[in-house]
Amino acid sequence: MTAPSHRASPRWGDRRGPRLLVRGLHLDFPLLAALILLSLAGLAILYSSSGRNMDVVAGQAMRLGVAFTVMFVLAQIPLHHIERWVPWLYGIALVLLLGVLLFGEIGKGAQRWLDVGLFRFQPSEMMKLAVPMMVSWYLADRPLPPSARHLTIAALIIVIPVLLIAKQPDLGTALLIAAAGTFALILAGVRWKYVALLVLAVSACAPLLWYMLHDYQRMRVLTFLDPERDPLGSGYHIIQSKIAIGSGGIYGKGWLNGTQSHLEFLPERSTDFIFAVFGEEFGFIGILFLLGIYTFIVIRGLYIATQAQDTFTRLLSGSLILTFFVYTFVNTGMVMGLLPVVGVPLPLISFGGTSMVTLMASFGIIMSIHTHRKLLST
């Protein structure tokens, strides 16, 4: 996929016109198309899951608008402009995280929000980008594969914010951020023996971790292992979402016809469990199609990473797209009863705003990495 000359101006009627237009705007057309397709599918299923509530759909459309705008703006900024600010960004995010722990507001039982006068703000969202950026930035001009010393420092870059976020407590986000940083390390070529060591260390710490978990978190893990143990509480989610997906069958019950979800058996049906509504109404075929789009996005993102021209952008785009995959896999896995219930939304489909903006920001970065490529090399 080599880009045509940049001199060619887009003209209507030209078969490649729109595509060039997108290129001129520093957007990646295949990625953009897939993201829009996902968003539209999301709005459609939200209309159904919310009980045909146009207010909810309009609200989500507005959030999508904001998120796509953020993506568009970020795509315009060449990464080498951003690169030298990375340590600052990371530092500020770290300070804000500390701020949350000290002065944060309690929302839904956990301390995640920082009140900045006009709006409330979640520094952990900022960390979702800052951690992979900082690890990529740090490793960019070190020889790769990284030495044990560099690896230790990179590990600290990841562990410090992760622990701060886990303490809020927001275990889901902490794990996702840990994953994002770890992906950058693995993509940088960390020797497998270190990876094996890490896995060993984590499994050794597991009992300790279990001890540190909050009661509700332990409950979730136990419920995952045996949903029937708490059919009125958290096990109810899993049982009901399995019934919803399973009853969808191959072709689904049809849009707006899902009974499980409409009779409100399914909790959180517009947010974390929206995938179950999708599975019920569009069936196996529909889910395959949806997973196809997600897979396409991931493969396109990985391709963009391999085409990146320097280590920083390569590691960054690679770790961001792998994190996107983790989101998708963890959410769908949890709804299908493959993984324990952790509060991870389905990217671009779940109702809700904050994490969507962060997600689209990462796509803005990926597009910028891809479309500013040629300019860098000349």
Distance CA 146, CA 133 (A): 16
- At residue 269, the 3 state secondary structure works out as coil
Task: Compare residues 49 and 124 and give the one whose CB is closer to other proteins.
Answer: 49
Q: Omega before 169 cis (within 30°)?
A: yes
CB of 246 to other proteins, least distance (A): 3
Query: Which residue's CB is nearer to other proteins, number 100 or number 305?
Result: 305
Given the structure tokens 């959180």, which residue do they identify? 268
Q: Which is nearer to other proteins, 68 or 312 (CB)?
A: 312
Residue 23 or 269 with smaller CB distance to other proteins: 269
What's the min distance (Å) between Cβ of 361 and other proteins? 22
**Number of H-type helices and E-type strands within the chain:** 16, 3
Closest to other proteins by CB, 42 or 301:
301
Report CA-CA distances (Å) from 297 to 37, 97, 200, 213, 324.
11, 31, 32, 34, 9
Nearest approach, Cβ of residue 225 and other proteins (Å): 16
For the beta carbon of residue 65, count every other beta carbon within 10 angstroms. 11
Of 163 and 299, nearer to other proteins (C-beta) is: 299
Across-strand partners of 119? 116
Record the tokens describing residue 39, joined without a space. Answer: 């968003």
Here the tokens at position 347 are 């990217």
Nearer to other proteins, 111 or 247 (CB): 247
Give dist(CA 40, CA 327) in Å, integer: 19
Tokens 């994002």 identify what position? 180
Give the interface with other proteins as residue ranges (CB under 8 A).
141-145, 183, 186-189, 231-232, 236, 242-250, 259-260, 263-265, 279, 283-284, 287-288, 291, 295, 298-299, 302, 305-306, 311, 314-315, 318, 322, 325, 329, 332-333, 336-338
Under 8 Å between Cβ of 344 and 209: no
Query: In the complex, what is the shortest distance from the CB of residue 298 to other proteins, in angstroms, rounded to a whole number?
Result: 6
Q: Which two tokens stand for residue 301?
A: 């993102």
* Rounded CA separation 76/59 (Å): 26
**Nearer to other proteins among residue 134 and residue 322 (C-beta):** 322
For the CB of residue 294, give the shortest distance to other proteins in the complex, in Å.
Answer: 9
Given a contact cutoff of 8 angstroms between Cβ atoms, the answer to whether 219 and 234 are in contact is: yes
Residue 232: CB minimum distance to other proteins, A = 5
Which residues are CB-contacts of 200 (< 8 A; sequence separation ≥ 6)? none
Decide: 345 and 272 in contact? Cβ < 8 Å. yes
Shortest distance (Å) from residue 156 CB to other proteins: 19
Cα–Cα–Cα angle for 20, 21, 22, rounded to 5 degrees:
90
Q: How far is the CB of 210 from other proteins (least distance, A)?
A: 25
CB of 243 to other proteins, least distance (A): 5
* Pick 37 or 302: Cβ nearer other proteins: 302
